[in-house]
Amino acid sequence: MVNLAVEKELKIKNKLGLHARPAMLLVQAATQFQSDIKIVKGDIEVNAKSIMGVLILAAEKGSIVKVIADGPDENEAVDSIAKLFTDGFGED
Amino acid sequence: MEKLTVENFYKSRKSVFELTLFAGAGGLSKIIESREIQRPSMILMGWLKGFASDRIQVLGRTEMSYLQSLNREKMSEILDDLFKFDIPCMIVSKGIMPPPIMLEIADRKNIPLLSSKLATVDLMNKLATWLDVKFAPKVYVHGTMVDVYGVGMIYTGKSGIGKSECALDLVERGHRLIADDVIELRKQGDNVLIASGTNLLGHHMEIRGVGIIDIEKLFGVRAIRMQKRVELEVRLVMWEELPDYERIGIETKTNSFLGVEIPVVTIPVSSGKNLTAVSEVIAMNFMLKVYGENPAQTFVDRLNDEIRRKSKLQDYLKEDVE
């Protein structure tokens, strides 16, 4: 049986984009899950559990990134990360 | 992949290729779709069939002197034929000034007409190399790339397993970091894989508990490299998660990146284990193999000889009944 990964497209809502603080929140959220989690923006794909990876995406307000999770808790992982995005990482 | 426009090409290669834009600036947003280069001599001779118009066209001295030998009417007729095609851009080599009529047509058709001061062969070579890099298949890998004794090693493994710390240790011992965390792999030719970092990343690295550090600032230029051929993958795994790892070293496992097979060495990680020393040994062992030495194989051969010798002796003694 093929176990498909869960993926979701998310939009950056907060004005400052995915800067250091939101990136840290994202990595903290991702690290709590066992699944492999990737963030894709354009042609760059990075590991969501690594701060450098998430930072170099330099995702600006309005840009779209894709979260891909694969593992035992993939659904929870994507939901938890999606929530951060919809809340604008607690910023304007 | 990001589209490559004539403008990107012109701006980034202007000084290296000694380019001047003469006409057709309206076509700078044209996209270069082909990695190949064309000399349009056959078109100039009137043979229009099978013309690869999606390529960059290079006109050398032969083509230009032929054009200049023609009368105005004939020249304009031929150039009209040539510029009828949707060409990305045209480059005249050797710093030859294109005739006014050519500039006029290029402007009218919005096809960028450039001139390069380089000799045709030089220009073609440099252009081909540059296009190869631009059109090379690319992939991003989560890992750390280090040059150990000149051997390009890419460390892979789960987040937090200690790839960055291992690289930091290696840098301290005089080896060189290419990039940490996000590695861009580019295929060059059929079987060469080149690793580099991204612009923003540079030689920064996150060390858990410390934060983001800059290897170049801390250790200087001797500690870094911009790119390196990937020769080995070192896969770090937790000791408990690894049921069987290589105990002798005669079998080589490989992993494929963009269709290039790279030998993999899987190393179980446990606290207190010196990954740096192991890394240096992996690199040196790789070099020995490249130079035709295979210590593991040599040892196994010696063992087999010994077993054979003993069993021969046994056989002899068995028959030796007096």
pLDDT in tens, A21-37: 999 999 999 999 999 99
Q: Which two tokens stand for residue A72?
A: 């035992």
- Going from the C-alpha of B51 to that of each of B4, B43, B214, the distances in angstroms are 21, 7, 51
The B residues from 145 to 184 touching A (CB cutoff 8 Å) are 159-160, 180-182
Minimum Cα–Cα distance from A55: chain B residue = B201
Per DSSP, A5 falls in state P
Contact B212 A58 (CB under 8 A): no
Q: Which two tokens stand for residue B247?
A: 């105990």
Reported ipTM: 0.81
Q: Give the residue from B155, B156, B159 with the most A CB atoms within 10 Å of its CB, the best one to mutate.
A: B159
What pLDDT, on a 0 to 100 scale, did the predictor assign at position B272?
A: 66
Whether B315 is a known active-site residue: answer no
Q: Give the residue from A51, A56, A66 with the most B CB atoms within 10 Å of its CB, the best one to mutate.
A: A56
Minimum Cα–Cα distance from B181: chain A residue = A53
Q: Which two tokens stand for residue B172?
A: 């301290």
What pLDDT, on a 0 to 100 scale, did the predictor assign at position A3?
A: 66
Residue with tokens 């840290």: A24
Q: Which two tokens stand for residue B137?
A: 């298949």
From its phi and psi, is residue A90 left (phi > 0), alpha (psi between -120 and 50) or beta? left
Contact A51 B205 (CB under 8 A): no
Q: Which two tokens stand for residue A38?
A: 């990737």
Neighbouring C-beta atoms of residue B55, cutoff 10 Å: 20
What pLDDT, on a 0 to 100 scale, did the predictor assign at position B1?
A: 58
The residue annotated as part of the active site, out of B3, B49, B244, B247, is B247
Asked whether the beta carbons of B144 and B166 are under 8 A apart, the reply is: yes
What pLDDT, on a 0 to 100 scale, did the predictor assign at position A43?
A: 83
What pLDDT, on a 0 to 100 scale, did the predictor assign at position B243?
A: 63
CA A87 to chain centre: 13
- Phi, psi torsion values for B232, nearest 5 degrees: -145, 145
Domains, chain A, with CATH or none: 6-90 (3.30.1340.10)
0.80 exceeded by pTM: no
Q: Which residues of chain B have pLDDT under 70?
A: 1-2, 242-245, 271-272, 322
pLDDT in tens, B117-145: 999 999 999 999 999 888 888 899 999 99
Give the count of alpha carbons within 13 A of B219, CB side only.
21
Q: Residue B190: name the closest of B290, B134, B255, B259 by CA.
A: B259
What pLDDT, on a 0 to 100 scale, did the predictor assign at position A2?
A: 56
- Going from the C-alpha of B194 to that of each of A47, B138, B213, the distances in angstroms are 20, 10, 24
Q: Is the pLDDT of residue A1 over 70?
A: no
Three-state secondary structure of chain B: CCCCEHHHHHHHHCCCCCEEEEECHHHCCCECCCCCEECCHHHHCCCCCCCCCCCEEEECHHHHHHHHHCCHHHHHHHHHHHHHCCCCCEEECCCCCCCHHHHHHHHHHCCCEEEECCCHHHHHHHHHHHHHHHHCCEEEEEEEEEEECCEEEEEECCCCCCHHHHHHHHHHCCCEEEEEEEEEEEEECCCEEEEECCCCCCCEEEECCCEEEEHHHHHCHHHECCEEECCEEEEEEEHHHCCCCCCCCCCCEEEEECCEEEEEEEEEECCCCCHHHHHHHHHHHHHHHHCCCCHHHHHHHHHHHHHHHHHHHHHHHHHCCC
Residue B199: partners with Cβ closer than 8 Å, 6 or more residues away: none
Which DSSP string do the residues of A6-71 spell out, in sequence order?
Answer: EEEEEE--STT-S-HHHHHHHHHHHHTSSSEEEEEETTEEEETT-HHHHHHT-PPTT-EEEEEEES
What pLDDT, on a 0 to 100 scale, did the predictor assign at position A47?
A: 92
Active site residues of A: 19
Residue B211: partners with Cβ closer than 8 Å, 6 or more residues away: none
Give the count of alpha carbons within 13 A of A15, CB side only.
2
What pLDDT, on a 0 to 100 scale, did the predictor assign at position B213?
A: 94
Instruction: Report the residue from A31, A42, A52 with minimal CB separation from B182.
Output: A52
